[in-house]
């Protein structure tokens, strides 16, 4: 099932708006409703006011009516196996379980699979999380 997420993330990366960093990123989420939601980074001249690909995909998921990330793929054009940044890891953890699989990709496909717990050990949590 991870291959379709890779393809969706790679397709989303084509929509990146990265004129400043020249660092396109794509993300794809499979939510609890079974649908795939995608996002790309969208930069703004006023750094750091842009959006990373992961929260863009999370926004699409929320607006689509889903609330839980089942699995997620991330790809960056210029950095194989590019993991989500620290801020994005916390954003992902809001909607993911500790065992949610995060797929890190390169141009050939999924190359590394991590759990949310591995990606963000000791994440900030409250009784709501």
Per the annotation, the verdict on 77 as an active-site residue is no
d(CA 111, CA 41): 21
| Marked catalytic residue, from 43, 54, 71, 77 | 54
- Tell me which DSSP letter residue 26 carries: E
* Cβ(61)–Cβ(72) below 8 Å: no
> What's the Rg (C-alpha) of the chain?
13
- Catalytic residue list: 54
């Amino acid at each position: 099932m991870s291959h379709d997420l890779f393809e969706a993330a790679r397709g989303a990366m084509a929509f990146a708006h990265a004129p400043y960093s020249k660092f396109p990123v794509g993300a794809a989420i499979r939510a609890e409703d079974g649908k795939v939601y995608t996002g790309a980074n969208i930069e703004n001249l006023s750094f750091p006011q842009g959006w990373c690909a992961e929260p863009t995909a999370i926004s699409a998921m929320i607006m689509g009516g889903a609330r839980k990330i089942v699995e997620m793929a991330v790809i960056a054009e210029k950095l194989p196996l590019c993991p989500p940044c620290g801020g994005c890891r916390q954003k992902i953890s809001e909607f993911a379980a500790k065992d949610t699989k995060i797929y890190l990709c390169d141009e050939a496909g999924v190359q590394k699979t991590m759990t949310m717990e591995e990606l963000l050990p000791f994440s900030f949590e409250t009784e709501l999380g």
